[in-house]
Structure 1
Amino acid sequence: MKPKDEGKIDEIYTATLALVKEQGLAGITMSQIARKAGFATGTVYIYFANKDELIVKLFDKCINDYTRDHFAGYDPSAPFKVAFHTIWMNMLRYSIEHFHEMVFIEQCFHSPFISEATRKATKDRLLPWRELIERGKKEKLIKQVDASWIMLFVRGSVRDLVKHCAYHQLKITNEFRETMFEMCWDGIRD
């Protein structure tokens, strides 16, 4: 049996991400994905048994990349605001550089394609961030609310900032990044 071509898998993933951004997760079909990738529909079925399998595998890849990038350069022993800044900037950078993936993750997370076990595993991958938030609460640097709400507030503000800038072709300068970080920081600090 001929080995699967990883390049074709990447092309299928790229086509899927573009279609999800253009028309949403629910409405796309395997034939649309194949057409967007420039393949015959049967080629996509060589790599994925069905749309559900494709979506789940692509979600896993995107989440792995997202969580890896989330903690790039993160030092849990750094002062709280420094560590928080690192994670926030990583979230922003990933969301800008991987906009299609961010949209895909957002649409998938609460969809029927993703199992409860996968949702829990995704949350578990973000445990270092939750632990940082708990540390900030313990040090009385941030608001004393459940860490999930703080994480939701931060993720939501980054995601909406990036979406607004992407859809309106606004440039995100380093100065703007820092201003937005300080606004987010002001929103969670005690």
Structure 2
Amino acid sequence: MDKKEQIIKAAMKLLTERGVQATPMSAVAKAANTGMGTIYNYFATKEELINEIYLYIKRSEVHLIAKTMDADSSLKASFFGFYGAMVGFYFKYPESFAFMDQFHSSPIITETTRATGQQDFLPVISLVQQGQKDGIIKEMELDALLHFLAGTITTYVRWMQASGKENDPVYLERQMRLVWDAIKE
């Protein structure tokens, strides 16, 4: 792991545990086992660091999801693959989930950062758009549909974590069927 990634992971952990106000850059430097100068070589401000963590997580999600996307699969199978991969990612990386749960809608995340993160999800967006074009997925504003899907993932993971349950395949299958039934035409 390089210094930049070390800083990102240390900051992610501190920010989710303590919050923005209680996480000074000096605490991040200490947790990352690096100096303040090194941090400022990578990130001019705490807000810039938070936006970079957001993109780091988005890229990690996309990397995992790309492995599940199969052009020869049906739309439903592709959707289930994407949805299951997202849930699996958040169970595998709970600090990433905690960060996104806290910061996804935060005004700290800039519109530029959000747009960049969305660009990384073009394969998933294309999947949804193709489903709409083919009359398989409800015709509604894309942004509303994507927010709905993200909300169902977040709520499901929160519920499973609060219940002390692991990523149980039976519960996940039921969740995916519920969500699929909600978005299909």
Same fold (TM over 0.5): yes
CA distance in 2, matches of 1:57, 1:148: 23
Judged with a 3 Å threshold, the aligned counterparts in structure 2 of structure 1 residues 115 and 133 are, in CA distance, closer, same or farther, namely: same
Judged with a 3 Å threshold, the aligned counterparts in structure 2 of structure 1 residues 78 and 51 are, in CA distance, closer, same or farther, namely: same
Matches within 5 A, 1:107-122: 107-122=102-117
CA distance in 1, matches of 2:21, 2:131: 39
Among candidates 139, 149, 154, match of residue 154 of structure 1: 149
Judged with a 3 Å threshold, the aligned counterparts in structure 2 of structure 1 residues 30 and 167 are, in CA distance, closer, same or farther, namely: farther
Among candidates 121, 124, 136, match of residue 119 of structure 2: 124
**1:144: Cα distance to partner?**
2.1
**1:41: Cα distance to partner?**
5.1
- Normalising by structure 1, we get a TM-score of 0.81
**Higher relative contact order structure (alpha carbons within 8 Å, sequence separation ≥ 6):** 2
**1:77: Cα distance to partner?**
4.2
Q: Which moved more, 1:45-54 or 1:72-81?
A: 45-54
State the secondary structure of the residue aligned to 1:74: coil
Q: Which residue identity does 2:146 align to in structure 1?
A: M
Gaps of 5+ in 2: none
State the secondary structure of the residue aligned to 2:140: coil
Matches within 5 A, 1:34-183: 34-37=29-32, 44-45=39-40, 48-183=43-178
Among candidates 172, 179, 182, match of residue 184 of structure 1: 179
What is the total number of aligned residue pairs between the two structures? 185
- Normalising by structure 2, we get a TM-score of 0.83
CA distance in 2, matches of 1:28, 1:107: 14
Structure 2 partner of 1:15: 10
CA distance in 2, matches of 1:35, 1:168: 34
Judged with a 3 Å threshold, the aligned counterparts in structure 2 of structure 1 residues 134 and 24 are, in CA distance, closer, same or farther, namely: same
Asked whether the 8 Å contact 1:71–1:90 carries over to 2, the reply is no
Q: Which moved more, 1:168-177 or 1:47-56?
A: 47-56
Q: Which residue identity does 2:8 align to in structure 1?
A: Y
CA distance in 1, matches of 2:55, 2:148: 23
Q: What's the C-alpha RMSD, in Å, of the aligned pairs?
A: 2.5
Judged with a 3 Å threshold, the aligned counterparts in structure 2 of structure 1 residues 168 and 136 are, in CA distance, closer, same or farther, namely: same
Identical counterparts, % of pairs: 25
Larger Rg: 1
**1:44: Cα distance to partner?**
4.1
CA deviation digits over 1:107-163, x for unaligned, max 9? 444434433222112222222222211222222222222222222111111111112
State the secondary structure of the residue aligned to 1:165: helix
CA distance in 2, matches of 1:150, 1:20: 29
Gaps of 5+ in 1: none
Asked whether the 8 Å contact 2:51–2:113 carries over to 1, the reply is no
